[in-house]
Structure 1
Amino acid sequence: MKEIFKTGVVLLIICFVAALSLAFTNEITKDKIAEQRMMANELAKKEVLPAAATFQDVDEDLLLELIESYSPIIEAYIGYNDSNEVVGIVFKSTPTAFGGAIEVVTGIELSGEVTGLRIGSHQETPGLGAKAADADFYAQYAGKSTESYIGVSKTAASGNDIQAITGATITSDAVTVGANASIDAFKMIMETGGVGN
């Protein structure tokens, strides 16, 4: 009986020390992790809308409307050039892919052309769905028109379609859902005059 009690106390101490260490590590690293995420977000915005020098969050009421009407949109930013003129809009969406939510950042310039797309955090299968984060895949979205939805082709892509990742059609479809939600949100903003200089 004494041995069981002694073992239990030792395990309790080990668990307490481990929990304390994890809490301490989290406290030390949380600000750095948040900073890294913010830097990655800024980089993605610049990559998908290269004509923009700065970005500003869309109006809070407009963002709430976008989130409500154009799921899976979660963020939107107006891009400005060096002359403080609006050049386009960047959207972040989180459609559901094979491994769960996948972060899709889409840039659209005022002319109605998709200028780029990048993949952020995801849980897709390495070697399959994770290939969505490779330039060979996401580069297909640049230059697509907002006049019609972007489609996904399992064979040869043409027109406003992209070529699906072999063995990862669900991921390809999910990324395209994010891009098409961005197109819908862009059209709504342009129709309502939600972008000002």
Structure 2
Amino acid sequence: MREIIKLGLILLLITSISAVVLGLSNNLTQGKIEEAENSVSEEARMAVLPEADKFEEENSDKIDKEVKENPNILEVYKGINDQDEVIGYAIKTASSGYGGDVEVITGISTEGTITGMNVVNHQETPGLGANATSEEFQERFSGVPATEEVEIVKTEAQSENEVQALTGATITSDAVGNSVNMARELYIENLK
């Protein structure tokens, strides 16, 4: 009996020390992790709205309300050119994919055209859903009108609002399409 109690106390001591070390490590690296994520998001914003010189977070009451009501809308930035004119918006949204949430930044110009799409975070299957990060797939969204719902199709796109899905990754393609449509709807209802 004493041996079991002794082993239990040793195990408790080891797990307590491990928990403290993990907690301290998390606190020390949390700032670096956030900094890296912000850097990836900034690069993605520049990629989807390349004519913008800088980005400012959109802080209107309507947008704040939309973000609070819809947890899948993660951030909304306005792209500003060198003459301080708003030229478009970069909207980060998330939708459920095959392996988890797929986070997408969609660029929409003030003229109502999708200027680009960039998958910034996912847990999709390598070689299938992970291909959503490929430049070839992401370019399929450029030039699509934001006034019409983006449709993901399995065959070659026949109209300007259709985007061909990734082969073998329909769920991921649909998740990306849902994220782009979420950004598009936010733009039409609140930013246009």
Settle same-fold status: TM greater than 0.5. yes
**Are 2:187 and 1:186 aligned?**
yes
* CA deviation string 1:18-77 (max 9, x = no partner): 112101211110111111111111111111101111111212412134337777323211
Q: In the TM superposition, what are the counterparts of 1:101-180 in structure 2 within 5 Å?
A: 101-159=101-159, 160-180=161-181
SS of aligned partner of 1:166:
coil
C-alpha contact 1:106 1:114 (8 A) present in aligned 2: yes
Superposition map of 1:1-197 within 5 A: 1-67=1-67, 72-159=72-159, 160-191=161-192
Partners of 1:15 and 1:21 lie apart in 2 by: 10
SS in 1 for 2:121: coil
**Letter of the structure 2 residue corresponding to residue 117 of structure 1:** M
Q: Distance in 2 between matches of 1:188 and 1:4?
A: 65
TM-score relative to the length of structure 2: 0.91
Match of 1:194 in 2: none
Is there any run of 5+ residues in structure 2 with no aligned partner, and where?
none
For the residue of structure 2 that corresponds to 1:95, the secondary structure is strand
Contact 2:99–2:124 (CA<8 Å) still a contact in 1?
A: yes
Q: Is the Cα–Cα contact under 8 Å of residues 104 and 120 in structure 1 kept in the other structure?
A: yes
CA offsets 1:172-191 (integer angstroms, 9 cap, x no match): 11111111122222222355
| Paired residue secondary structure (2:140) | helix
Q: Which amino acid aligns with 2:13?
A: I
- Structure 1 alignment gaps of length 5 or more: 192-197
Between the aligned residues of both structures, percent identity stands at: 38
For 1:161, give the aligned amino acid: E
Aligned residues: 191
